Structure 1
C-alpha cells in the first residue's frame, strides 16, 4: 500500500497524520496489510510491526516479519529529493521519545512514541525484491533502504503464505474456495 501522508512518522516538520490513522489504519489491521509506504516527510523512517497503533513485534534491521501474525510495518520514504527534514531524537536513538500527530482542526497532539525503529535523515530510496509463490507456499518481500551512494541503511523481509490470508473476522481473502 502506498500513499502520501504518513500514519506513523516523527519528523519535527510534519510528524504523523491523525486522519490517516483514524480512517485507514483500522482497514490495514483488518485486512492484514504487509507494508504501508508513505512519502510527505523528507526522511526515511520505519516502524516496528503494529496493530491498532501498538507495537506487536519489534523489528530489528535484518528481521523477518510475518504480517498475518506480527502486524503491519510502516515506512516513510521521502528522502529522495528536495530539502531533508529532522527528527526530535538522533537517527540511532533507541527507546521511547516524545513526538506528535495532527488531529482534527489542525492541532498537534503530543504522544510518546515506541514504534519508531529505524530513522535516516540523508537522501535515500527503497528497493523491494519480490519472491512470488503458488498458493499455499511462502512468498516474500525483502525491503532494503539504500543511501544515494548505494550503501544499505535498513533491510527487513515480509513473509506470508500465498493465497491464505484472513481478515480479523476470519474471512479468507485471496484464496480459491477449494483452498480453505
Structure 2
C-alpha cells in the first residue's frame, strides 16, 4: 500500500488566530492596508488617511510571518503575508493569524490565494447577500482542506518564493527601463 502523502485538515488545525492590538502613533508602527491585488500595502502608497487615525482606534499588529485577511473580501482573495522583518499595523477589522508548527507559512500563504481556496471561501461564507458575504475566523476554521506533508510544503513554498522573487526582479527592471526611456524621450 502506498503511503498517504497529502492529509486532510480543517483550517483551524493549521492556523491560530492572533489579536495583538496596537496604536500606530504611540507604538510608532506604520499603518498598512490589505488589497486583493497586492496583499499588504503601505497606506501612504495608496492614499493618505493618517488624519483618520484617532487616539483610541484599535489596530492589529501584523508581525513578521503573520497572515492577515479581510473577512469581507476573503471570497475575492484579500489575503496578505508579512514577509518583512518589521511589524505593521492594520485595521482592527482584519483577521490576523499565524500558521501552526509543521506548516510552511509561505506555502500556506500561496495556497490561501489560490482559485481552489477562493472557491472554498465562497462555499463557506456567511451572509445573505453575495456582496456582503464574509469569512470570519470561526468559519475559516471549519473549512476542510488537503495539504502535503511539511517537507513537501517547504519545497513547494520555496519554489513559489523563488518565482515571486523573479517576478519582483523583472518588475523592477521594467520600471527602470520605463524611467530611462522617459528620460530619453523627455530630453
Taking structure 1 as the reference length, the TM-score comes to 0.25
The structure with more helix, counted as a fraction of residues: 2
Larger radius of gyration: 2
Taking structure 2 as the reference length, the TM-score comes to 0.24
The structure with more strand, counted as a fraction of residues: 1
Q: Which has the higher contact order (CA 8 A, sep 6+)?
A: 2
